[in-house]
Structures are given as structure tokens and as C-alpha cells.
Amino acid sequence: MSTATISEIDDSASAVPATMKAVVVHGPEDYRLDTVDVPTPGAGELLLKVDAVGVCASDLKCYHGAAKFWGDENRPAWAERDRIAGHEFVGTVVSGDDAALAKRGVSLGDRIACEQIVPCWECRYCLMGAYWMCGPHDMFGFKGFDGAMAEYVLVPTRALTHPVSRDLAPHVAAFAEPLSCAMHAVERGNIKFDDVVVIAGAGPIGLGAIAGTRQKNPKLVIALDMSDDKLALATKAGADLVINITKEDAVAKVKELTDGYGADVYIEATGHPSAVSQGLNILRKLGTYVEYSVFGSNASVDWSIISDDKELNVLGAHLGPHCWPAAIKLLESGKLPMDEICTHQFPLDRFQEALDLVADSEGGSVKVSIVPSLTEATTSAAVHS
């Protein structure tokens, strides 16, 4: 079985080097730019040259040592040391055997995105079709497989891939991952035409949830945040009404708009414990709460609101199963204000600044990405293709 490289079909492309720069996880608050070997694809595998990789809130929480990733007295560690970080990525196919290319319906030079999880396809969850809840739960950049905060990334045979237009700027194309996640949260909400839907948070996931909810065409889409700038962006993404929770009582306002009943669906996309109780109180009886966040600390609520008071439907949402094609289609449509959502891009050697900016609530960022081909931090407008 033959293995080809992109240099065979594109004379302008340089040969794949032997080594590359990569952001390696040595432990909490110990990420380093190391020189490592470029992986060599085996049978059924592909090698991508990384076009862009997003910096996720989960990357940040892993970096800061959250128990979800590194364990505590109640759970073992899930994240692995000596693993290259980065799970929100797109890349160009530069190497792979004929079988791998045919299996994924791609050619050398094509751009693809990879789903975050690399399912085992053998556990109970995978066999019942719920691959995103795979038991071993290998995931690019965290466990099992190296991620894409690097110049190249290996696509294993078990990975799920999707084609993405090369007409999109790299950092916009990489937004397919958070957008697919947000759309899954929307799907979990089972939104109806007559629903009042409240989305807490106008960051990347919240904005994606607003855009996805808009596609469902409910009665009213309401966005909550503490930043007027992000709320202005929420309006452009599809919100009918925005509420700055530092200036107005969101619970009172939503009840005023719904004859005192409350919202039908609440999607939590902030990762802040206070947004949980806010959602329980903002919902009507028999309403639906959807949780899509990675929390840095535990959230405590009065569970009697869920049961005795309102009999709520409380649903979790994880990853973006079956939503990738729709997310990519929405990005390719040009309907979203991606120039304003994708606010900052950094080269690999300034990855620490990218992490720090995501952590800085006053830094003015929305979506931060790493674009290995860059040589200095720049605005999105400067790197659009």
C-alpha cells in the first residue's frame, strides 16, 4: 500500500521536516514549547499540517490544574503529561496511504477538521451509537493522542473527520469545533417554535448556542452576559434581546417577558457556578435546563427547585456529536460575524500569551487561536485569506 505526501502533487510545498515545534503538557501550569519529532503516519493514518487550533476554556482549566483533568480525592487524573495540547483544529492533509485517503474521501492538499474525541468503537457506549461518550474517552490533546498546538498532527484510524472549505480563514475554520459543541447543546434543549430560550454567556460556546438556537426559530432568544461588547456580538449572532446581568435582574426581566412564568429553555455556557442557580430560577415549571460548561469549581444549588418546585428537565451536553456538518455549513455560509468572534490569533511561540489572554476576563478577547504559520500576534482581519 503506497503512502503519498503533498510535495508529490504540489511543487511549491516543502517536504515534511523531521522535527517540529509543539506545545507539550508537562503538568499543570507547565506547558512548554518543545522540539519533537514529526509523527509518521502508519497504515490508515493521516498527517496534517496544522492550519489553526483554538484555545478552549477547557485547555485553560486543564492548564490551571482543575480536578476534572488532574484528579482529586474523588477521582483519578484523566489528562496525561508529555502530551501535545490542542483539540480544536483544522489542518491540511500532507501525508497518508491510499486506504486512509479513500476511507475519508480526501486527497492530499484538502483541509479537514477532526472531532475532539477519538472513540474506541468497542465499548458499550460506542456500540450503542453514543461514540461521544466513549468509555476510554481518548481525546486529542488531553489523553491517548497528541493534539494540534504544533506544526503537524497525526490523525489516527479511529478519528472522525470532516471536510472544511479552504476559502475560510484558518482560525475561522477551527471554530467548527466549539460551534458543533454549541449546536449539540441546542439539540439537547429540544427547542420548539413557541419557546423562550435563554443562553447564559456570550463567549464562543454561548455565541454558538445563540446562532444554533436562531436556526430553530423559537419565539424569543435572550442572551445574558456581563459585557456589553459581548452582548452586542450576541445580537449579531441572532439574539432578539440581551441582558447585562450586572445592570439588570435577569430573572425578573425574563419573568416580566413571560407573564410571570419564566423561560422554556435555559442553556448554561459560562462555566461559572452562579449561572447554575440563575438558570434554575429563570426557568418556568417543567422547563429544560441544558448544561454545557467545564467548571473550575463545584456548583451548589437547591435541588428542591429541580424536583418539588418545578419538575425541571436537567440535561447535560458533551462535545458536538452529529453537529459537525451543520456547524461547518453555517461557517461556510458567511452568516456569522466571525471577524468579531475570532478576535486574536497567535503564533506557536506565543502560546503562553494566548492562554493568558483567555484567562483575562478584561482582555477583550472572544475567541483566541494559535496559527502556526504566523510569526507574530495579529488581529483576525490581518490573517484572513
- 190-236 pLDDT, tens digit each: 999 999 999 999 999 999 999 999 999 999 999 999 999 999 999 99
Residue 376 pLDDT? 61
The model's pLDDT over 53-80, given as tens digits with 9 standing for 90+, comes to 999 999 999 999 988 899 998 889 999 9
Instruction: Give the burial string for 47-82 (b: 16+ CB within 10 Å, else e).
Output: bbbbbbbbbbbbbbbbbebbbbbbeeeeeeeebeee
Mean pLDDT computed over 171-177: 98
385 has pLDDT over 60: no
Q: By three-state DSSP, how is residue 329 classified?
A: helix
Domain boundaries, the chain: 3-163+337-383, 183-316
Torsions phi, psi for 52 (to 5 deg): -165, 155
Strand pairing class (313-316; 283-291)? parallel
The model's pLDDT over 23-51, given as tens digits with 9 standing for 90+, comes to 999 999 999 999 999 999 999 999 999 99
Q: CATH says 3-163+337-383 is which class?
A: alpha beta
The model's pLDDT over 285-328, given as tens digits with 9 standing for 90+, comes to 999 999 998 877 788 999 999 999 999 999 999 999 999 999 99
Pick the CATH number of 183-316 from 3.40.50.720, 3.30.2000.10, 3.90.79.10, 3.10.20.440: 3.40.50.720
Mean pLDDT computed over 124-132: 98
For residue 61, the Cα-to-chain-centroid distance in whole angstroms is 14
Residue 299 pLDDT? 86
Place of cell 522540539: 35
Mean pLDDT computed over 381-385: 40
Place of cell 435555559: 266
Closest CA to 189 of 71, 295, 123, 268: 268
Angle between helices 324-333 and 204-216 (to 10 degrees): 90
Q: By three-state DSSP, how is residue 307 classified?
A: helix
